[in-house]
Structure 1
Amino acid sequence: MSRPSLLALVLATAVTWPVSGHAASSPADVAAAALRNAPVWDGHNDVPEQLRERRQDILAGFDFADTMNTADPENGKGPMQTDLARLREGKVGAQFWSVYVSAMLNEQQAVQATMEQIDVMKRIIAAHPDEMMYATSSAEVEAARKAGKIASLIGMEGGHSIGSSLGVVRQMYELGARYLTLTHFKNTPWADSATDAPEHDGMTDFGKDLVREMQRIGMLVDLSHVSPKTMADALDVARAPVIFSHSGAQGVDGHPRNVPDAILDRIKANRGIVMVNFYPSYVSEDLRQWQASRLGEAARLKSLYPNAPETAEAGMESWISAHPKPVATVAQIADHVEYIAKRIGTDYIGLGGDFDGGSVGVEGMPDVSAYPALFTELARRGFAQDDLEKISSRNMMRVLKAAEAYAKAHAQDPAIESPTAF
């Protein structure tokens, strides 16, 4: 054998031997690399709601650097789940801040309250220029990342916030809102919610025009909280990608707030995104069933002992003792991600934690610091670094850029008009 051939054989054989000190990357290493390259872009965080409920939007004395001391036991509130220190620990690079206001407000009150919520979040961002950067576009998100700051975008949760007015939604866009969730837990006058009795068989003509107008101006259409028929009606008229800012898969947890398989398939065709939610009863089917059973048992005991509430209460304690409450887990969040990935691929998945808005009690996901734990679990299940980067932020960037491109292409289209209500 010639010397060159012998050398080639040695080299070829050598690569099959493990090299000491260079073991295969662990799941934690894969997750960490993905989050370095593509920090988390979360679809839904309710810090503005907490500021309104806890402080009436008064920021004097509020320390967003560390909110661990914000517990209010007298009012049943634990510490907030979000602050700058924990966002950094969680590798969050961009955040849609939800300017949610109660769906129990009338529409005119909701419009004012939403403007106040936009204002308070802008003031929080402005107060922390070294850590946060206000963003209204994909280019500004990219600029924030290059500057090492948390890109801070605004999303509106609930169609009641626009007062059934296309003029108002256009002005909310001018104020910085970059998505609108079409309903919350109640129907609007033009769209059915997932958690209310149907009134409109999905969306009215006004609702469909709203979707068209939102996409014309570049505002993302958010289908979390809406009924399956509303989802379908919106997708029928959508010409740009839509989002679910904080929803899971009904194939894993049957809660009506989650996305049915048929709609998942349409999200792939639409090139949209489902940002997986961490709300415990949307994550864990066992917990959802337990909650329903507990309500049923409470109603049964109340019916049996209407004149002896202490007996009903004791019976309820006995039932809970015999039926321990299930606990949602970070692994179950991963189940939703994995289910959607197997159904339609990793190109259509993001994360919408809903921290400070209800995602309390998931084992392994206590607050915004814990995203690396979820990515480590996904890596353990075989998700490649490239897929993890898509899920963390690249998919959301693609969707926003597509919405912007559609709006740019239709910038000369006339505004859709509707008559004023009063």
Structure 2
Amino acid sequence: MTDATALERARALLAEHPVVDGHNDLPWALREKVGYDLDRCDIAHDQSARLHTDLARLRAGGVGAQFWSVYVLGEYQGDQAVSATLEQIDCVRALAARYPEHLRLARTADEVVAARADGRIASLMGAEGGHSIACSLATLRAFHALGVRYLTLTHNNNVPWADSATDTPAAGGLTRFGVEVVREMNRLGMLVDLSHVSADTMRDALEATRAPVIFSHSSARAVCDHPRNIPDDVLAALPDNGGVAMATFVPKFVLPAAIEWSRAAEAALREQGYHPFDMTPEAVAALRAYEAAHPRPVATVATVADHLDHMREVAGIDHIGIGGDYDGTAFTPQGLDDVAGYPNLIAELLTRGWSETDLAKLTWHNALRVLRDAEDVARELQRTEQPSLATIEELDGPRSGDG
């Protein structure tokens, strides 16, 4: 099979079975770059000079549904975290309202399918980090009512009830309140997202959940030994759970040589007063200057395909998906430069012998099945369970700070 033939087949497959991508940080990029002023950054026009995402490239990439991340910085705590998450939700709703011929808000699997049938890109929301709920199950329920369909239990820092993959362990996984958060999410029909959490938190959540989980943007730790990735024992547990691990494209999570380079680049940014996740033009320029002086290791489409090969082998074809993390990373692999790149990945997998049936599961069917299964579990639980009134103080004891 020639590269041109594989790419032609990939595009045809995506026309029938488009990508459900688990994680895109466009709302945060719009907050950082233009303060949510969509007139100043109109994604109906080419935004390739400053974003990974615009409408034309989403179409070119074969994206049929997108989980937009309503992430806020982990440094935001308490009411600040809640209000900033609400602002992120408002941004997604504003995008859907501004571009109704392209984007349609979706809350259920059926709504995703209906949006696709009408030629729209189904727009779902995922909250990235348990700090967004400020240790409040009522806030969790409010986010669900506004359309948020997954919560990543932590971001890069621990929350009082769960350990992060990139912080010093404190809870040893999930606390009693953390288990209650998972169970309330099951009752609501909100997907439990285990990207960013520690391996112990992953295992505790798999034990606690009554519904399938997702990893919205994580790859295989056996291929790239970064704590943000998924250990093989957790991948192997996904068939019993029914969940889906959505491989990410972030170079430092997929390419071992990129890990140390990224640490040094982030340290250089901090020395200049920038947060590593700062998306302002000044911070981006500083990072590009560091890259010019210190050439970085470059990941490719094949690098990501290596992860998917391994994840399929360990978890099985029914339990993998794609979560690019576009506009949440400064660098992307060659060939996956932006949201138009998905056909290149599908073409690479075709050349490796993946069947079109398997690829359709990877891009579309697995994610839809998990969303539908979580809805089914919630319907059953709501027949017998009332909204939880538990508090972190009641379950975990007195605490300091807001979480």
TM-score by length of 2: 0.87
**Which structure 2 residues correspond to residues 14-25 of structure 1 after superposition, within 5 A?**
none
Correspondence for 1:301 = none
Structure 2: how far apart are the matches of 1:287 and 1:382?
Answer: 28
* Bigger Rg over Cα: 1
Partner of 2:386: 414
Q: Match for 2:24 among 45, 49, 57? A: 45
CA distance in structure 2 between the partners assigned to 1:169 and 1:407 by the alignment: 15
| CA distance in 2 between partners of 1:295 and 1:80 (Å) | 20
Distance 1:67 1:32 in 2: 21
- 1:91 maps to what in 2? 62
Structure 1 residues 343, 27: CA separation in 2 closer, same or farther (over 3 Å shift)? Answer: same
1:375 to 2:351 alignment: no
Q: Hey, what does 2:271 align to over in structure 1? A: none
5 Å-filtered alignment, 1:293-332, equals 325-332=296-303
Paired position in structure 2 for 1:249: 220
| Other structure's SS at 1:179 match | strand
Q: Secondary structure at the match of 2:340?
A: helix
1:106 shift after superposition: 1.4
Aligned residue type for 2:390: S
Q: Which residue of 1 aligns with 2:108?
A: 137
Letter in 2 for 1:84: L
Runs of 4 or more, structure 1, over 4 Å off, are 289-296
Q: Which letter does structure 2 place at the counterpart of 1:53? A: E
The superposition leaves residues 234-278 of structure 1 with CA deviations (integer Å, 9 ceiling, x where unpaired) of 000111100000000001100000000010011121110000001
1:35 equivalent among 14, 22, 26: 14
Distance 1:190-1:366 versus aligned 2 partners, 3 A rule: same
Q: 1:60 to 1:33 in 2, by over 3 A?
A: closer
Per the TM alignment, residue 345 of structure 1 is displaced from its structure 2 partner at its CA by 1.4
SS for the counterpart of 1:368 is coil
Aligned partners of 2:91, 2:178: CA distance in 1, in Å? 28
1:111 to 72, 78, 82: 82
RMSD of equivalent CA atoms: 2.4
| Partner Cα distance (2:360, 2:62) in 1 | 12
Question: Structure 1, residues 174-214: CA drift from partner, whole Å, max 9, x if none?
Answer: 01100000000000010000000000000100000000000
Find the aligned partners of 2:175 and 2:152 in 1 and give their Cα distance.
Answer: 16
Question: Is the contact made by 1:33 and 1:385 (CA closer than 8 Å) also made in structure 2?
Answer: no
Structure 1: how far apart are the matches of 2:265 and 2:42? 39
Aligned residue type for 1:188: V
Q: Mapping of 1:176-255 within 5 angstroms?
A: 176-255=147-226
Judged with a 3 Å threshold, the aligned counterparts in structure 2 of structure 1 residues 278 and 359 are, in CA distance, closer, same or farther, namely farther
CA contact (8 A) 1:30 1:385 kept: no
Identity %: 48
- Extract unaligned runs of 5+ from structure 2: 268-288, 394-401
Q: Partner amino acid for 1:240?
A: A
The alpha carbon displacement at 1:295 in A equals 9.2
- Paired residues in the alignment total 371
Any residues of structure 2 matched to 1:333-372 within 5 Å, and which? 333-358=304-329, 360-372=331-343
Name the CA distance, whole Å, in 1 between partners of 2:332 and 2:191: 30
Native 8 Å contact 2:103 2:120 kept in 1? yes
Larger displacement relative to structure 2 (390-399 or 340-349): 340-349
User: What is the TM-score with the length of structure 1 in the denominator?
Assistant: 0.84
- Map of 1:65 onto structure 2: 44
Correspondent of 1:266 among 228, 237, 242: 237
Distance 1:57 1:37 in 2: 33
CA offset digits 1:279-331 (Å, max 9, x no partner): 110010122245568899xxxxxxxxxxxxxxxxxxxx9xx98x953211111
Shift of 1:44: 0.2
Q: 1:209 to 1:348 in 2, by over 3 A?
A: same
Once residues 351 and 420 of structure 1 are traced to their aligned partners in structure 2, the CA distance between those partners, rounded to angstroms, is: 34
Judge conservation of contact 1:353–1:359 (CA < 8 Å) in 2: no
- The residue type paired with residue 386 of structure 1 is T
On the 8 A contact 2:177/2:392 being kept in 1, the answer is: no
Q: Say if 1:359 and 1:91 are closer, same or farther in 2 by CA, change over 3 A.
A: farther
Unaligned runs of 5+ in 1: 1-22, 72-78, 297-316
Whether the aligned pair in 2 keeps the contact of 1:31 and 1:388 (CA below 8 Å) is no
